[in-house]
Amino acid sequence: MTRPIAILIALALLIAAPFAIYPVFLMKILCFALFACAFNLILGYGGLLSFGHAAFFGGAAYVTGHALTVWGLPTELGILAGTVAAGAFGAVVGQLAIRRQGIYFAMITLALAQMAYFFFVSADFTGGENGLQGVPRGYALGLFDLTDNLAMYYFVLIVFLTGFAVIARTVHSPFGQVLRAIRDNEDRAVSLGYDVERAKLLAFTLSATIAGLAGATKTVVFQLASLTDVNWHMSGEVVLMTLLGGVGTLIGPAFGAGVIISLQNLLASGPLSAWVPVVMGAIFVLCVLAFRRGIVGEFAAMMRRSF
Amino acid sequence: MLAELLGFPPQVLFGQLLLGLINGAFYAVLSLGLAVIFGLLNIVNFAHGALYMLGAFASYFLLVVLGIGYWGALILAPVMVGSAGILIERFLLRRLSGIDHLYGLLLTFGLAIVIEGLFVKLYGASGIPYPTPEALKGGVNLGFMFLPWYRGWVVVAALAVCLFTWWLFERTRIGAYLRAGTENPRLLQAFGVNVPLLTTLAYGYGVALAGFAGVLAAPITQVNPLMGSNLIIVVFAVVVIGGMGSIMGAVVTGIAMGVIEGLTKVFWPEASATVIFAVMAVVLILRPAGLFGRTA
């Protein structure tokens, strides 16, 4: 009973939000929330720590930026192009990375993402240090003018909800159960006859695809794709968001993204702006040492204790 | 001569070869430190690049504040960085023993961000020059190339430290304990060896190696808060290629990757930044456990 009600309240809040809070800020949170949820799909449910997800987020951002600016595609197709490209790249990276486990998996994804970073630094179409600027927002379905921030917000909200629904459906499907089985005991999953490699690859590719969707949408919102999006610091940031919100909880990473983006906004305007990396790193260390369940994880544990 | 046959002046070829050898020496020392730490703690030390940077800054502080020059720094800076590492292990990493090793990676990642952020805030992102020691200024003309003394020294010193580490691990009692701790820490503890202390020392030693590399790098790359930031990712790729199973494996892979990178700069400059990652991909396809890896 309570679950549908909670979902309805959340939806109502999301629909009303842009009338109370600056829409661009909300859109940024939604894009990063989707990115973090996509990342959590393989860390929280597959137990695979990818340190290269910025490559999918930022790679899709570049492809979409290029598709909208140079090819002049409609907005939806531009986002689709970025998303598909991220998925394809995810399949390649996943194919290589799943050959090793644990710490090696993290190092391999990081190294391959760094390779992608160097590609984007030197490629002609990415605009080098400047990135792709002035990407047109265009029209949704050819009807709604997305230069209007409110229209853009609802467009981003629909993208977020679609991506989130795919993740939720995956997690609650039999395939999601297999993923958790692999996370908890890979050898046992193998002995039960599951094709572990295939499941991992599928999850990784899906995660990369949705991370790409988030990056592509971000490009449309900010009309910008830059090296920041593909840098390894971005990969670290999404790990932090997920960890802070709650690894392996469905909605936790979205909360984590909200907190981190708000904090960055808050610090950036104050006297502490130069200290942002230090503060982020310190939160990271604190989370690992004393707050491993994250916001939503702690909350859920508290609820369990009190009932 | 071969180089002339290929259409490159020998100075270019050997110059890049030397640069590759130097980079390879750094890769070797850094990946060796990672391997030592991995052996006992089972974590990959993401802060390795930041601690390498700390080594360079330590030698800079020693010079500016205490007036201690390069040769003193070569001994003192690794001791300082190693001590910092011992504190990190004792007060932070030890709290994570017994849970998923990925948290160790995440903790050291956070530490790296904090340390680098702090130094960028205090010293800016541009480098501070560090003088080449007087005795190693200038160089010698070998006929086919010009060899600066300092560059030659870096390769020799790095190899000497690698050899020392090999001797320490393979030929001494404490090395035997360390190897036993890698194999089976519980059994070693049951024999009355203080494994937690051994673990702390291993982390301190691995980190001191990074500090040592930082001192060696200071006169070449300048003292820069971000000097270890991208380097560590290349070293990770080197570690994946070689596997963390053996000391000699780490050293050989490190040097070889540096040389391959240097040669790529001659023949295909655009690819030189990514060639090590490409080699990693090929190794993963052909031999997933790494060249010197023991298990898959």
Among the partner-chain residues A49, A100, A233, the one whose CB lies closest to the CB of B288 is A100
- DSSP H or E run through A57: helix A54-69
What CA–CA distance (Å, rounded) separates A287 from B106?
A: 10
CA distances from A96 to A109, A212, B282 (A): 9, 19, 9
Render pLDDT for B183-203 as a digit per residue (tens, 0 to 9).
888 898 899 888 899 999 999
Would you say residue B214 has pLDDT above 90? yes
Structural domain range at position B210 = 19-125+142-286
pTM for the full model?
0.91
Residue B6: the pLDDT is 61
The predicted pLDDT at position B9 comes to 74
pLDDT of residue B2 exceeding 70, the answer is no
For A26, A164, A166, A236, A259, the CA distances from A61, given in Å and listed in that order, are 18, 19, 20, 18, 23
Which residue, B203, B293, B211, B189, is CA-closest to B250? B293
Q: How many CB atoms lie within 10 A of CB B260?
A: 17
Work out the pLDDT band at B253, boundaries 50, 70, 90: very high
| CATH classification of the domain holding B277 | 1.10.3470
Q: Tell me which residue of A19, A64, A22 sits closest to A262, measured CA to CA.
A: A22
Closest residue in chain A to residue B115, using alpha carbons only: A278
pLDDT at A182: 92
Task: Look at residue B8 and tell me whether its pLDDT is greater than 80.
Answer: no
Residue B212: CB partners within 8 Å, gap ≥ 6?
Answer: B29, B55, B74, B77, B78, B161
- Is B7 a residue whose pLDDT tops 80? no
Query: Residue B289: pLDDT band by 50, 70, 90 thresholds?
Result: confident
Q: B54, B123 in Cβ contact below 8 A?
A: no
**What is the per-residue pLDDT for B146?**
81
Using the predicted structure, report yes or no on whether residue A51 has a pLDDT greater than 80: yes
Q: Report yes or no on B101 lying in a domain.
A: yes
Question: CA-based angle A233:A197:A195, to the nearest 5?
Answer: 150
Q: Residue B218 pLDDT > 70, yes or no?
A: yes
The DSSP 8-state label assigned to residue B132 in this structure reads P
Q: For residue B85, which phi and psi values (nearest 5 degrees)? A: -60, -40
Query: Length of chain B, please?
Result: 296
Domain segments of chain A as ranges: 20-231
A274 in contact with B, Cβ within 8 Å: yes
- List own/partner pairs for B15-19 with CB under 8 A and 24 or more apart: B15/B145, B15/B146, B16/B262, B16/B263, B16/B265, B16/B266, B17/B259, B17/B262, B17/B263, B18/B145, B18/B147, B18/B151, B18/B262, B19/B262, B19/B265
The residue type of A68 is: L
pLDDT at A20 over 80: yes
Are B225 and B123 spatial neighbours (Cβ–Cβ below 8 Å)?
A: yes
pLDDT for A303: 84
Chain B residues with CB-CB distance to A106 below 8 A: 44, 102, 105
pLDDT of residue B118: 93
Mean pLDDT for chain A? 91
Higher pLDDT, B285 or A77: A77
pLDDT in the model for residue B296: 38
Q: Based on the structure, what is the number of domains in chain B?
A: 1
Q: Does any domain span residue B196?
A: yes
> Which pLDDT score, from 0 to 100, does residue A102 have?
82
Report residue A261 CA to chain centroid gap.
13
Tens of pLDDT, residue by residue over A125-134, are 888 788 888 8
- Mean pLDDT (whole number) for A103-118: 90
pLDDT tier for residue A269 given thresholds of 50, 70 and 90? confident
Q: Which of B38, B106, B276 to mutate to test the interface with A (most CBs of A within 10 A)?
A: B106
Query: Residue B119, Cα to own-chain centre: how many angstroms?
Result: 20
Q: Give the percent of chain B with pLDDT over 70.
A: 96
Q: Are strands A144-145 and A139-140 parallel, antiparallel or unpaired?
A: antiparallel
User: Residue B169 — very low, low, confident or very high, per pLDDT cuts 50/70/90?
Assistant: confident
Provide the pLDDT for residue B271: 84
CB contact under 8 A, A285 and B270: no
Does residue B259 belong to any structural domain of this protein? Answer: yes
Contacts of B236 in chain A (CB under 8 A): 107, 110-111
* A209 vs A201: CA distance, rounded Å: 12
Residues of B in contact with A278 (CB under 8 A): 113-114, 117-118, 121
Q: Which residue has the tokens 């990063």?
A: A32
Answer yes or no: is pLDDT of A290 > 80: yes
Note whether residue B133 is domain-resident.
Answer: no
CB contact under 8 A, A278 and B118: yes
Contact A277 B43 (CB under 8 A): no
pLDDT tens sequence across A178-237: 999 999 999 999 999 999 999 999 999 999 999 999 999 999 999 999 999 999 999 999
A–B: how many Cβ contacts below 8 A? 116
